[in-house]
A and B are shown apart, each in its own frame.
Chain A
Amino acid sequence: MDYRKIHEELTDNKKTFIEILTQAAGFNLDYWNNREKRPNETVGKFKSLIKFAPKNIKPKWNKRISLKGHYGKIGENTCFEFFFNIQLKRKKQRYKCKGYFFDKDYRRGVVIQTFRVETLIKIIK
């Protein structure tokens, strides 16, 4: 798919935030693995588990603090942050997801800075 079409898909007002996020991750995903402190889940788990986020989720938008780093300058100025629960079989877990879209003027992908378990709520025996 060409960049113009990708940009149109990722800025389509009819889509929900989560639709845009999962689509952006399919087009161009930058994901940070292996951080020493509070590491993210693996990229494979992100791709599988993000599908469990509620379709109507509304993220919190914050001004991006650092403009350095990969895509720092060309990324959008605000980053999204949201939490969601997965309750399946006997397990309930709360996840945190944080990142930002890029490019600033021509959206074509997403950087995921944080995707990790926030709380293991319960394991029902």
Chain B
Amino acid sequence: MDCYHENLVEKRIEYLTLNSKFIYTGLECSDCGATLWNSDTDRKFNSWLEKLYKSDREKFQIQFGLSKNTISCIKKISEPFPGVGISALFKAIVAIYLELGPNTTFQKIINKVIEGEVYRSFRVRGKDRFKIQFKPMPLMEINSMAEFFDETPAQFVEEGILIILSIFVENDQKLKDFWEENIKNKLNALLKVA
């Protein structure tokens, strides 16, 4: 049976994230040990994250590897955006991957793409390493989604990039249409801002 948190006490609570402790004063249920996270905690947490971002940038960096084949494909995608660095391109691709995640058509496309030849060819060994720094909010979302898939944040980012690139490369009309209708414009918008 669920606890209804009827006996609350104010306590100092520690929330562990990014190998750091966010400490706040909040309510704890003395019956079940649950701790309350509310809008005030959210505000304090966001401001703590911003401070952490300024003081320890390494915690917001994700290192991952891509094959030579993948990198040549990335170069092709970046052709319409001269002057845009590879780091901005990766961040835009990951942002699109996160945004499209809940889209049911995209979910079907992911399930199709990961069974395809292109995706498999991108996953071969012999990887060049990249280190990308994310802002606090996207990084927290990457961490949450990576946890859902039982992956490391690096694996999640790497796989997201490979899936988006596979949609670009695959010779399938449905995937091409999806690229045109859902990814291309987003990429343009994000990279123009960058």
Binding site for B on A (CB under 8 A): 27-37, 39-40, 42-45, 47-49, 51-52, 54, 65-66, 68-70, 72, 86-91, 93, 98, 109, 113-114
Cβ 8 A contact of A30, one of B6, B38, B102, B148: B38
Given A51-B102, A66-B4, A89-B149, 17 additional A-B pairs, CB 8 A: A28-B39, A32-B5, A33-B34, A35-B3, A35-B33, A36-B34, A43-B37, A44-B17, A47-B144, A48-B145, A54-B104, A68-B4, A69-B5, A87-B111, A98-B2, A109-B39, A113-B2
Which secondary structure dominates chain B's binding surface? mixed
How many Å lie between the Cα of A37 and that of B107 in the bound state?
A: 32
Residues of chain A within 8 A (CB-CB) of B111 are: 87-89
Residues of chain A within 8 A (CB-CB) of B4 are: 65-66, 68-69, 72, 113
Residues of chain B within 8 A (CB-CB) of A31 are: 36-38
Residues of chain B at interface, number, CB under 8 A = 36
The reply to whether B149 and A48 contact each other, CB–CB distance below 8 Å, is no
Give me the 9 closest cross-chain CB pairs, A-B, nearest first.
A66-B4, A35-B34, A68-B6, A48-B144, A51-B102, A32-B34, A36-B33, A69-B5, A31-B37
Which secondary structure dominates chain A's binding surface? mixed
Binding site for A on B (CB under 8 A): 2-6, 8, 15, 17, 27, 29, 32-39, 42, 101-102, 104, 107, 110-111, 114, 140-141, 143-145, 147-150, 159
